[in-house]
Structure 1
Amino acid sequence: MSLLAPERPVRTHLADPPARPRSRWAALPVLLVAVFMTTLDFFIVNAAGPAARRDLDAGATAMQTVLIGYGMAYAAGLITAGRLGDLYGPRRVFAAGLALFTAASAACGLAPDAEFLVGARIVQGLAAALMGPQVLALLGTLFPGADRARAFAWYGATVGLAGTGGQVVGGLLVAVDPAGLGWRTCFLVNIPLGAAALLFAPAVLPRGERSVPDRNGLDLLGAALAAAGLIAVVLPLAAAPEAGTSWWTWPVLASAVPLFAAFAAQQRRRTAAGRGLLVDPAVFRERGFAAGLLCIALLFGASAGLTSVLAVGLQDGAGLSPLAAGAICTALNAGFFATSMHTGRLTGRLGSRLPLIGAAVLAAGLAATGWAAPATGTSVPLGLIAGLAVTGAGMGLLMAPLTAAALVGVRTRLSGTAAAVLGTVQEVAGALGIAVTGLVFHQTLGAGLPAAGDPRWTTAFRAASVLLVLAASAIAAVHIRARAVRD
């Protein structure tokens, strides 16, 4: 018996009966509602934050924790959530996460003070983590062949719609102020969506076999060590744009080393004892998974890095108002949404060539964006808008194919773990992309904050763009190497 295998029989997804075509597509809206809600909540708080701070008389630290706490809980819980999906089945864990997310959204909307809101947001993040790996695992299981490309195209489009519309939806809800609820509506809007998804989930999601799961399969100590290590890496990087480099940044980052060392040692002891591991190393040997992880890390790092320096460049460098800067950024969102809706059809035509085309489009868009960086405080070149649209189109061409390519060769018993690792890599890569791109940007900008229209803004933005173009080019290089290995 393999040391990585459960010691007792567990319910496995391999025996699940194949879903009929109609029932497969009936499950898709339920899964996408969960994706939409959890993605929207990353961004909608940016619009609700100022009003919530005034209403709750909260300090800056508390509201920063409201913003960051969700993402930290999400990143820290993904690996454990993936393991739970492997042990108990993605359907059950998804339903539990959906119910918890809906309840936590109600708690956020009814929060009497900032401390309560922070706690509810952390629970929201954990609930989102429970759902995230299960959505990807269920999409991979339910949709074989050409249908998988279409399903992941809808997944990518949903992520793009929620991400691009988050601040817009939040702003509208706060402005309209239904029932006098103000910022609370940004959280309460999840209740009808979550309730509807919970109502239909039992009828449309596939059922697994019923049996007693392996109690040694869930490694709680390993989960705690891995979560602590991830938080030690991601928290300083995520907080840096708002808080800058604080006294605690380097000690917290340094603490990740002993935490991950302790995790590795603990996993070795469990292996020697023949007990289940939190992350089965076999998942990294699955066909195309490691290369897919690297490509997705580069994509998410480049995307997060661009948006972070773009906001600063447009407002402080070009002298635009937040509303005007947001309007410029819609070009990026529009390009993403336009192409992500067609990746299913394009995958059928182009196959493995689509990621190469997407990487080339992304690199070209980033180069054009950097070249057209605003150099005056009074106008924004049309070339910048065009460059952002092309950049968004490249991102849209890449997201679904890269996600599907990373998971297509993963065996069903490892699908939850693979999806969790994938989600964790996305979160860490995003934070790392912001940190590294911001470092290049601010080092080039120099000390102090130049006035709007100062040529140093253009130089700094172009330097950051060179880094991002290299990341896009690396996606193509890794994909070509992975194809050569497979062939």
Structure 2
Amino acid sequence: MTIALPLAVPVPVAGAARSRWALPLLLSAVFMTTLDFFIVNVALPSARRDLGLGPSLTQLTAASYGLAYAAFLVVAGRLGDRYGRRRVFGIGLALFTAASAACGLAPTGAALVAARTAQGVAAALLAPQVLALLGTLYPGAERTRAFGWYGTAVGLAGVSGQALGGLLIATGPGWRTCFLVNVPVGVAALLGLRRAVPESFGTARPLDLPGAALLAAGLALAVLPFTAPEWWPLALLAAPALAAFAARQRRAADPLLELALLRDGGFAAGLAAVALLFATSAGLSFALSLALQDRHGLSPLTAGLIFTALNAGFVLAAPLARRLPERRAPALGALVLAAGLALLPAAGDPFHLPPGLLLAGAGMGLTMAPLISTALARVAPGSSGQASGLLGTVQELGGVLGVAATGTALSAPGHGLAVPLALALALLVLVLRVNGRTAVRV
């Protein structure tokens, strides 16, 4: 499950005119972009058969969205501050709507990957604008409620994504419906945007487009080799590109990502744990969706309904995490997650998977919020925006690497679920090691 993190908390503008439709309109975009992170997994097996996707394009279809999101998120918030949040939101929404149509009409696997990449760029443009606009339009207690509805929209999209995708495939013209359903929603939101949402600006900060390009290139060069053996030489170029990006950030007066924060061992360990958690979640969803439909021959709807156990466990356990000591919740959650994943290979019959999935989802719910909050607690208030930016980038990158590594393991029958289990065990070891050696809350 992916969480968009605010890069800053905007100051509400007194007297900002807004329509009662502002909140539903903004949240509809959040719902769509979050839904597409999940819905693609249940659509992938059908798309793979229809378009003749090989292993490489199958992985890229799943991973390209998160990769583009992670690469462009670092500049998206600054674009809104400089050029207007409503304007950039509208551009992102228009691009997302057009890219969704392109996904639904894609004639080839390469066209589908290109359209998914455009969707990821658009989602990165949208996310920080929504959070900034909510913070600007709703003061005091209203803002708290608005952010609460934001969290609800993200949660509902995550919980319903797999099942809704299966339902759309079952009742519409196949997997393409999962993407085409965004088009009327996006068009309606665009038509009402100007009247419902007032414009707002923030402090104009340097964009550093060359730095963003170096980051995007470095991430792509690091991930693409996982999707095709012939691309492994590209990995040799990833380190120089990322090193050049890091050097540029160290010299910048106002860096896109404040890498100096990584000198804090507790925060760095928190980032690593978040990356492992999101890699586990994304890898599991990718591997299980392909196994349920391709190996076991289940319909997309049935596969989607089985997935609801994972998300139900998350929703049920997340509130319990707040009642546990923050140092203990991640360790307990990682243990429960690993236990749930260990049960899956023994299930045999796919209809025996829900107990293990429920347990795995509960582990994610117990782990996610405490990991994020304790990592951010290590950072001074003045650097909270930069820390949130790092976390947002790391969570998306973790998901991309989880899909890529799991896809590589799928070439060996029966090993697909081994990668998520290994990642969960690595998460458990990391959390226990940090808790055992220091008093840092991660």
* Secondary structure, counterpart of 2:230 in structure 1: coil
CA contact (8 A) 1:289 1:407 kept: yes
- 1:414 is displaced (CA, Å) by 6.7
CA contact (8 A) 2:82 2:201 kept: no
Aligned to 1:430: 399
CA contact (8 A) 2:70 2:396 kept: yes
Aligned to 1:337: 315
Deviation string 1:77-107 (CA, Å, 9 cap, x unpaired) is 2222244345446554333312321232234
CA contact (8 A) 1:157 1:337 kept: no
* Secondary structure, counterpart of 1:218 in structure 2: coil
CA contact (8 A) 1:149 1:401 kept: no
Matched residues in 1 for 2:135 and 2:269: separation?
18
Residue 302 of structure 1 aligns to which amino acid in structure 2?
T
| Sequence identity percentage | 49
> Would the alpha carbon gap of residues 358 and 390 (structure 1) be closer, same or farther in structure 2, given more than 3 Å must change?
farther
Q: Structure 1 residue 124 and structure 2 residue 119: aligned?
A: yes
Aligned to 2:329: 357
* Aligned pairs (5 A) from 1:9-408: 16-17=12-13, 28-49=23-44, 60=54, 65-88=60-83, 90-111=85-106, 116-136=111-131, 155=150, 157-177=152-172, 182-198=174-190, 201=193, 207-209=199-201, 213=204, 217-237=206-226, 239=227, 246-248=229-231, 250-267=232-249, 271=252, 276-281=254-259, 292-307=270-285, 320-323=296-299, 327-340=305-318, 342=319, 347=322, 350=323, 353=325, 356-357=328-329, 359-370=331-342, 372-375=343-346, 377=348, 379=349, 385-400=354-369, 402-403=371-372
- 1:166 is displaced (CA, Å) by 3.2
Deviation string 1:383-431 (CA, Å, 9 cap, x unpaired) is x63342132123234434544565676768973x544432220122223
Matched residues in 1 for 2:9 and 2:341: separation?
46
> Would the alpha carbon gap of residues 203 and 299 (structure 1) be closer, same or farther in structure 2, given more than 3 Å must change?
farther
CA contact (8 A) 2:12 2:139 kept: no
> Would the alpha carbon gap of residues 194 and 26 (structure 1) be closer, same or farther in structure 2, given more than 3 Å must change?
same
Residue 100 of structure 2 aligns to which amino acid in structure 1?
S
- 1:28 is displaced (CA, Å) by 4.8
Aligned to 1:3: none
Residue 334 of structure 1 aligns to which amino acid in structure 2?
A
CA contact (8 A) 1:82 1:418 kept: no
Matched residues in 1 for 2:436 and 2:141: separation?
22
> Would the alpha carbon gap of residues 381 and 365 (structure 1) be closer, same or farther in structure 2, given more than 3 Å must change?
farther
- 1:357 is displaced (CA, Å) by 3.1
> Would the alpha carbon gap of residues 182 and 106 (structure 1) be closer, same or farther in structure 2, given more than 3 Å must change?
same
Matched residues in 2 for 1:148 and 1:401: separation?
22
Residue 398 of structure 2 aligns to which amino acid in structure 1?
A
> Would the alpha carbon gap of residues 328 and 336 (structure 1) be closer, same or farther in structure 2, given more than 3 Å must change?
same
* Secondary structure, counterpart of 1:247 in structure 2: helix
> Would the alpha carbon gap of residues 374 and 410 (structure 1) be closer, same or farther in structure 2, given more than 3 Å must change?
same
Matched residues in 1 for 2:82 and 2:261: separation?
15
> Would the alpha carbon gap of residues 430 and 25 (structure 1) be closer, same or farther in structure 2, given more than 3 Å must change?
farther
Matched residues in 1 for 2:310 and 2:371: separation?
19
* Aligned pairs (5 A) from 1:407-486: 415=385, 417-434=386-403, 449=413, 465=421, 468-472=424-428, 474-475=430-431
- 1:465 is displaced (CA, Å) by 3.6
CA contact (8 A) 2:163 2:304 kept: no
> Would the alpha carbon gap of residues 70 and 380 (structure 1) be closer, same or farther in structure 2, given more than 3 Å must change?
closer
Residue 185 of structure 1 aligns to which amino acid in structure 2?
T
Unaligned runs of 5+ in 2: 1-7
> Would the alpha carbon gap of residues 85 and 479 (structure 1) be closer, same or farther in structure 2, given more than 3 Å must change?
farther
- 1:225 is displaced (CA, Å) by 1.0
* Secondary structure, counterpart of 1:278 in structure 2: coil
Aligned to 2:4: none
Q: Which moved more, 1:201-210 or 1:80-89?
A: 201-210
Matched residues in 2 for 1:257 and 1:104: separation?
31
Deviation string 1:203-257 (CA, Å, 9 cap, x unpaired) is 666753588x45xx121211111110011122334x2xxx5xx122x31222111
- 1:128 is displaced (CA, Å) by 0.9
Matched residues in 2 for 1:71 and 1:100: separation?
16
Matched residues in 2 for 1:141 and 1:401: separation?
27
> Would the alpha carbon gap of residues 93 and 251 (structure 1) be closer, same or farther in structure 2, given more than 3 Å must change?
same
> Would the alpha carbon gap of residues 116 and 374 (structure 1) be closer, same or farther in structure 2, given more than 3 Å must change?
closer
Matched residues in 2 for 1:308 and 1:203: separation?
40
* Secondary structure, counterpart of 2:215 in structure 1: helix
Matched residues in 2 for 1:141 and 1:404: separation?
23
Matched residues in 1 for 2:57 and 2:419: separation?
34
Matched residues in 2 for 1:156 and 1:476: separation?
29
Matched residues in 1 for 2:420 and 2:42: separation?
27
- 1:376 is displaced (CA, Å) by 7.3
CA contact (8 A) 2:284 2:417 kept: no
Matched residues in 2 for 1:210 and 1:315: separation?
47
Q: Superposition RMSD on alpha carbons, in Å?
A: 4.8
Residue 300 of structure 1 aligns to which amino acid in structure 2?
F
Deviation string 1:283-322 (CA, Å, 9 cap, x unpaired) is 6689986565344223213323444565688789xx7444
CA contact (8 A) 1:16 1:208 kept: no
- For the pair shown, the structure with the greater C-alpha radius of gyration is 1
CA contact (8 A) 1:225 1:262 kept: yes
Deviation string 1:180-199 (CA, Å, 9 cap, x unpaired) is x5544322211232234445
> Would the alpha carbon gap of residues 482 and 125 (structure 1) be closer, same or farther in structure 2, given more than 3 Å must change?
farther
